[in-house]
């Protein structure tokens, strides 16, 4: 109820000039550095002394990245949901809610100083809204979980029968427990034995490993594990995927080609890697570029490889505008018929209509759906 009210009020803002976001290009880290200095000189500095300086830096950088993205796309639903999530994460990591009450006006003052007046006037209404509805946002964040905290609950084992569901969930839970205790070898052995015992690779990927990684991500959000532990678990799972990959290769003739990547500053490549593996298992030839792929390099690769489809993944919302820009570049390729473009990742799972906004030909919420959609499009 509160969330719907907030979304409706945000929709009443005057149309924002999306070109104003360009004034933040390449400046988010610089602005974050100056914001941290301002916060350090404020009365909120003392309560923050016990908090990680790295966490504060991440918060400040992402704040400006999100503001830039919302100016570019103006998506009230995602705006409210993501700021609710950020409020909850900060609270879980020991940041007092007053942090936002101090940080928002300091950010606005900084922007007024650092960007052209015409652009500032376009961005100012978002801050005015956040400060006006601050109490409501706090109330919402205390009352409801965010979308990102419920992903693991929502994507668990499909309805394949209660016995099978319980078995797969048990494997997933044990896998997480082993990794959290630093037992990488045992965790990998658990899954390899499960495959040898007849559990299908598709189930291993989508119903054991994917829920496991979401569960670990949720533990970071709840401040139950730190970034180092999360990275350890991710690295172990990447190693496991490399061992599983040869087991599912289609020995038949590869009919079509897919190029897949995560753009810009997007570091969350595990989901895209799973999608790429599924394409290989389905008989496609894949060209997986991994994370942080520069747009220019992607376009060069597409022109060279001439795939039938390009898959783009964005877990973080601030990657969505870059997807839109890159898709426009892909559609302009004239050396051969432009490939179809499929998008996915948590940012699109949050609001699937964004796939239309960015100009994609399709959207999929998981690797299995990606194959079905790709076969339909191509």
For the stretch 62-106, pLDDT in tens is 999 999 999 999 999 999 999 999 999 999 988 888 999 999 999
Please tell me the predicted confidence (pLDDT) of residue 263. 84
- Just give the CATH number of 149-247: 1.10.1240.10
For residue 339, give the DSSP letter: P
Q: Domain 1-144's class?
A: mainly alpha
Residue 223 or residue 108, greater confidence: 108
DSSP string, 194-213: HHHTT--HHHIIIIIIHHHH
Domain ranges for the chain: 1-144, 149-247, 257-377
Instruction: Collapse the DSSP code of 293 into the 3-class scheme (helix H, G, I; strand E, B; otherwise coil) and give the result.
Output: strand
Please tell me the predicted confidence (pLDDT) of residue 268. 83
Please tell me the predicted confidence (pLDDT) of residue 153. 64
- Just give the CATH number of 257-377: 3.40.50.280
Nearest to 343 by CA among 248, 239, 272, 273: 272
Please tell me the predicted confidence (pLDDT) of residue 349. 95
pLDDT digits (tens, 9 = 90+) for 31-57: 999 999 999 888 887 777 666 677 888
49-58, 104-113, 115-124: the lowest-pLDDT one? 49-58
Contacts of 39 (CB under 8 A, 6+ apart): 45, 48, 56, 60, 102, 103, 106
């Amino acid at each position: 109820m509160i969330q719907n009210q907030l979304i409706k009020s945000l929709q009443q803002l005057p149309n924002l000039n999306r070109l104003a976001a360009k004034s933040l290009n390449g400046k988010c880290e610089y602005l974050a550095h100056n914001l941290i200095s301002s916060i350090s000189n404020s009365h909120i500095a003392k309560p923050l002394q016990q908090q990680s300086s790295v966490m504060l830096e991440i918060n400040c950088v992402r704040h400006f990245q999100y503001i830039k993205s919302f100016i570019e796309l103006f998506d009230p639903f995602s705006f409210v949901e993501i700021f609710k999530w950020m409020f909850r994460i900060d609270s879980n990591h020991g940041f007092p809610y007053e942090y936002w009450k101090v940080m928002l006006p300091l950010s606005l003052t900084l922007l007024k100083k650092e960007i052209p007046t015409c652009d500032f006037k376009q961005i100012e209404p978002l801050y005015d809204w956040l400060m006006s509805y601050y109490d409501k946002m706090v109330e919402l964040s205390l009352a409801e979980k965010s979308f990102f905290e419920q992903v693991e609950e929502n994507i668990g084992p499909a309805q394949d029968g209660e016995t099978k569901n319980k078995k797969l969930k048990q494997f997933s839970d044990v896998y997480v427990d082993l990794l959290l205790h630093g037992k990488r070898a045992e965790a990998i052995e658990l899954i390899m034995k499960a495959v040898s015992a007849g559990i299908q690779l598709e189930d291993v990927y989508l119903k054991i490993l994917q829920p496991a990684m979401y569960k670990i991500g949720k533990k970071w959000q709840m401040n139950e594990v730190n970034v180092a532990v999360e990275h350890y678990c991710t690295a172990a799972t990447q190693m496991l995927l490399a061992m599983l990959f040869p087991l599912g290769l289609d020995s038949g003739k590869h009919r079509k080609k897919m190029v897949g990547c995560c753009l810009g500053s997007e570091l969350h490549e595990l989901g895209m890697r799973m999608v790429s593996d599924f394409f290989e298992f389905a008989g496609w030839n894949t060209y997986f570029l991994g994370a942080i792929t520069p747009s220019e390099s992607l376009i060069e690769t597409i022109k060279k490889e001439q795939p039938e489809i390009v898959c783009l993944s964005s877990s973080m919302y601030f990657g969505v505008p870059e997807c839109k820009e890159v898709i426009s570049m892909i559609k302009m390729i004239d050396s051969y018929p432009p490939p179809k473009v499929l998008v996915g990742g948590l940012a699109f799972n949050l609001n699937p209509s964004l796939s239309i906004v960015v100009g994609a030909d399709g959207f999929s919420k998981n690797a299995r759906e990606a194959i079905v959609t790709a076969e339909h499009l191509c």
